[in-house]
Amino acid sequence: MLLVRRLRNTLLRCFQCNIMMVCMLVALIITIWIVLVSEPVSTRDYMDNLLSFSKMDLATKRDKPFYSNCVDTQDYLSNPLYAKQNASFVMLTRNEELEDVIKTIKSIEEHFNQWFHYPYVLLNDQPFTEDFKTKVRDVTNDSIVEFGTVDEITWNFPSDVKDTFEFYNAIENQGDRSILYGNMESYHKMCRFYSGLFYKHPLIQKSEWYWRLEPDVEFFCDITYDPFWEMAQNDKKYGFTIVIPELYWTVPNLFRHTKSFVRQNDVTPGSLWKLFTKDYDIFESDDPELRDSINYDFDVKPKVSEKIAIEQLLEKGNESERINADEEGIMNLVNRARSKKHIVEDKFSNEEYNLCHFWSNFEIARLSVFDNEVYNSFFEFLEKSGGFWKERWGDAPVHSIGLSLTLDLDDVHYFRDIGYRHSSIQHCPHNAMGGEEFPYVTSDPRFQRKKNAAYDMGKDFGCGCRCKCPMNKLDIEDSTGFCLNVWVDLIKQEKGREHRAETFNGNQIEANVRKDYLKEFGN
């Protein structure tokens, strides 16, 4: 009986102990929840600022929003110094996408073009129907709209390519490997067209600037100034609003062909090149083998030590003095013999494509950044390689890398203040503080807003004008921040001294390691 009572008391104490632990855990969870939910907004914002680009000030002397708030558009337009540019919107679409086309045009008209009246150029691989043309003109607020077709030769791959078994096999193979859009021949055609042919169309050639649109696009903020005019005044040639990494298996050999083009044509890329490449040339040494084998900072000391130990093993000297050195050298020699040569798979001439690219379905640019000798030759080189069908090269990485062959970082502008969505990716900035100073004034009754229309609250470092961002949607600045981080890091550098990989004085390091080695082993 005594044993039973002791067992019962032990179980009771354990039960009470477990109950207490559960209660403490529940109390801890409730406390954390209360702190997170009820803490002052300013504290939460401060913590967010430590974690997200969207709440940071990214402006630098080299690039920042043209205006950090709304402007009075009527005053802007009446300024005698202002001049409307030779520019147009460009959209590649089809008759069956009419609803999405209208959605895009309504959005850009409401948020920008109702005040500036820039023309539209719509292109199709088939003739547009009269119904399509009529309904598009009805929503463009009297702006000029031109409709063009992409001729058969421009749209299709050359006949000596598209009529081959290799072509169709490559397309089907990409589908079998689940390459995004890889089995869609039309998508390959579109990417090829936008990569190096769109700007040659006669309707587009009439303009000096273009703003690319897509069906089913939303703009979230008012653009109360003229981006074309501001880019011209600030010596900017290309503008983006989203920069993200590409899917590796869509472009596995794009950079290899790019490096071949650069080498064969003796091209010296601009500083924009650094936005899209990783530099492995970090070890400055007279030893080419060390330069090639040291790709990361953690390689430096082991690789140099290995070299010194093996060298000392092979040198002649007093046998009794070399016994310890022999042991060290033999160990390193054996390790080198057993180890595989470290190869960075996609490194070419000590550089690798980091997969970053401007999301080209939004571009505001001078046509001349594409229509020039270097870029045209680059596209023709890529065309001959067959990469637009052998692989699924998108026009975004082709544009980005191609532009970096001629442009510097200072030629490019980040339109951070333009809220934009296409597909599932979006960017929507915080509103600037004090945006209510310039209320919305429409020039088209179709876009009249309620008198008490609610916009997002202004935030520190905000730059948007009357933005209304979708709720519970993570901004692309925070969800894929690597490429934006590279941009910000580079644009913060002094012009001409843009960031590159940290370099090491290899000859000096080698001398120091050799000195330490000899001191330890006395050889």
The CA dihedral of 456, 460, 465, 466, to the nearest 10 degrees, is: 20
SS3 category, 503: coil
Q: Which helix (H) or strand (E) holds 353?
A: strand 351-353
Whole-number Å distance between alpha carbons of 228 and 113 = 12
Residue 86 CB partners (closer than 8 Å, separation 6+): 206, 207, 208, 209
Among the listed residues 215, 275, 214, 242, the one whose alpha carbon sits nearest the alpha carbon of residue 475? 242
**Angle CA 273–279–282, to nearest 5:** 145
Burial of 122 (0-12, 13-18, 19+ CB in 10 A): buried
Among the listed residues 487, 475, 420, the one whose alpha carbon sits nearest the alpha carbon of residue 51? 475
- What the block records as the tokens of 493 is 């550098």
Q: What is the CA radius of gyration of the chain?
A: 30
CA atoms within 13 A on the CB side of 369: 26
Query: Considering 363, 391, 477, 498, which one is annotated as catalytic?
Result: 363
Residue at token pair 């700007």: 199
Is residue 306 within 8 A of residue 328, CB to CB? The reply is: no
- What the block records as the tokens of 438 is 């310039």
CA atoms within 13 A on the CB side of 231: 25
Encoded amino acid at 500, one letter: R
**For this structure, is 363 an active site residue?**
yes
Helix ranges restricted to H, 267-386: 288-293, 300-314, 323-338, 373-385
Encoded amino acid at 164, one letter: T
Residues catalogued as catalytic? 363
